[in-house]
Amino acid sequence: MSVEILRTNGRDEIFLADTIAGIRAPAFCDCVFPRSTDVLSFKGNIHDHISCKCGENEGRPLEWIWDKESADPACYVNGRNITFHPTFSQGTTVIRGEKRLEPGMIHFWEMKIVTSLSGTETMVGIGTDKVDLFAHRFRFTSALGLDNQSWGFSFRGKAQYNNRSIFYGKPYSQGCLVGVYLDLSRGYLEFFLNRRSLGIAYKNIPVDPSVKIYPMTCSTAASSAIRLINSTSCPDNLEFRCMRVVAKNPDLLAHLNRMPGLKYLSNRYWYLIPYQDDIDDIADIYEDAHTIKHRAYLIDSEDEFDDLLLDPREFFYFFCDH
């Protein structure tokens, strides 16, 4: 597969050849979404024109919504729903969440792309309180990641930080779910597409509590709409670390889900579990579960914890004991 470097807006951008050709990720579901011509001619709220509710909330409350007070008045912002440039576009609008993302926590949120995306840019990501939300309102640009105060994932499949873009994942558009996983304990930023991780994009996110970080999104496209469908967070503790490993091991996950006292963890950390269209029944890997001897471990360092995770069965003993 060939790699091409394009220079746009004075910046070098690295792409795989098939991305340049326009290969896009499929929609998350088979629901019917309105065509672009229908959206442009629709006189009411675009979000009222969408019947698809796939993946939305699923009983989980939103921890934050979009900030209407700081938004460009030319855009429609109502709770979880955003419609960029409802009549016509004359630049780039940046919108952020209503509250900062707490330091030291694990954050995950997810957006549904309601309309087809086109034009210069649509991005999701994060930024500090130093980002000027109105700096590009009369300029068409990739606003998130233009400097060292924001990080973004473009609908064209590129990730951007400090005015440098690299190929990261498939382009996305209408019907896709775009997730953001932010570890403010270690400073890692990762994006998801249709509930599947694209891998860590950046490891340079500030973890200093004095740095205020917000969820952000931006768009230049007229009548483009995004809906926030999930937003959650949790502390970076031993329970989270254990579940992160269990979620990647189908045998351990199946065994955990059969334990009444631990089954709730799958709902609490649902975003860690790899998405599957069909989940087959997995045979019980512990036929002698009643004979398992509980063992306790005292872990003095993160290296010891990593060593423990190399053996899934040993790890499971540890998880049960704690």
Average pLDDT on 293-307 reads 39
Confidence at residue 74, expressed as pLDDT on a 0 to 100 scale: 77
Confidence at residue 219, expressed as pLDDT on a 0 to 100 scale: 95
Q: Look at 133 and 294; give whichever has higher pLDDT.
A: 133
Give residue 307's domain range. 238-321
Of the given ranges (75-89, 247-261, 305-319), which has the lowest mean pLDDT?
A: 305-319
| Structural domains in the chain (count) | 2
Is 271 found in the same domain as 218?
no
CB proximity list for 298: less than 8 A, separation 6 or greater: none
Is 229 found in the same domain as 103?
yes
Is 135 found in the same domain as 273?
no
| Nearest partner of 161 among 121, 189, 198, 140, judged by Cα | 189
Q: Look at 147 and 302; give whichever has higher pLDDT.
A: 147
Kindly state whether residue 3 falls inside one of the protein's structural domains. no
Average pLDDT score over the chain: 80
Is 190 found in the same domain as 115?
yes
Confidence at residue 66, expressed as pLDDT on a 0 to 100 scale: 96
Average pLDDT on 274-281 reads 52
Is 273 found in the same domain as 199?
no
Is 293 found in the same domain as 178?
no
- Alpha-helical runs (H) found in 206-311: 238-246, 250-257, 264-268, 302-309
Average pLDDT on 196-218 reads 96
Render the burial of 25-49: b for 16+ CB within 10 Å, e for the rest: bebbbeeebbebeebeeeeeebbee
Confidence at residue 276, expressed as pLDDT on a 0 to 100 scale: 62
Kindly state whether residue 134 falls inside one of the protein's structural domains. yes
Evaluate whether 222 touches 166 at the Cβ level (below 8 Å).
Answer: no
The DSSP secondary structure of 59-125, one letter per residue, reads TPPPS--B-STTS-TTSEEETTEEEESSS--SS-EEEEBSSPPPTTEEEEEEEEE-S---SS-EEEE
Of the given ranges (81-90, 152-161, 235-244), which has the lowest mean pLDDT?
A: 81-90
Report whether pLDDT(287) > 50.
no
How does pLDDT run across 19-75, given as a tens digit for each residue? 443 588 999 998 888 777 666 656 667 676 677 888 886 667 899 999 999 998 878
Is 83 found in the same domain as 120?
yes
Task: Kindly report the backbone phi and psi dihedral angles of residue 133, in degrees, each rounded to the nearest multiple of 5, phi listed first.
Answer: -65, -20
Confidence at residue 136, expressed as pLDDT on a 0 to 100 scale: 94
CB proximity list for 227: less than 8 A, separation 6 or greater: 47, 50, 56, 80, 81, 82, 111, 112, 114
Q: Look at 312 and 170; give whichever has higher pLDDT.
A: 170
Kindly state whether residue 220 falls inside one of the protein's structural domains. yes
Is 272 found in the same domain as 138?
no
Percent pLDDT > 90 in the chain is 57
How does pLDDT run across 161-186, given as a tens digit for each residue? 999 999 999 999 999 999 999 999 99
Which range scores top for mean pLDDT: 215-224, 285-294, 300-309?
215-224
Report whether pLDDT(211) > 50.
yes
Report whether pLDDT(301) > 80.
no
Report whether pLDDT(265) > 70.
yes
Point out the domain boundary residue: 235, 269, 301.
Answer: 235
Residue 305 confidence class, pLDDT cut points 50, 70, 90: very low
Kindly state whether residue 50 falls inside one of the protein's structural domains. yes
Average pLDDT on 123-139 reads 96
The CA-atom distances, in angstroms, between 183 and each of 112, 152, 227, 267 are 22, 15, 23, 19
CA distance 298 to 292: 19
Q: Look at 183 and 12; give whichever has higher pLDDT.
A: 183
Average pLDDT on 261-270 reads 90
CB proximity list for 120: less than 8 A, separation 6 or greater: 92, 140, 141, 142, 220, 221
Is 309 found in the same domain as 286?
yes
At 225, which CATH number?
A: 2.60.120.920
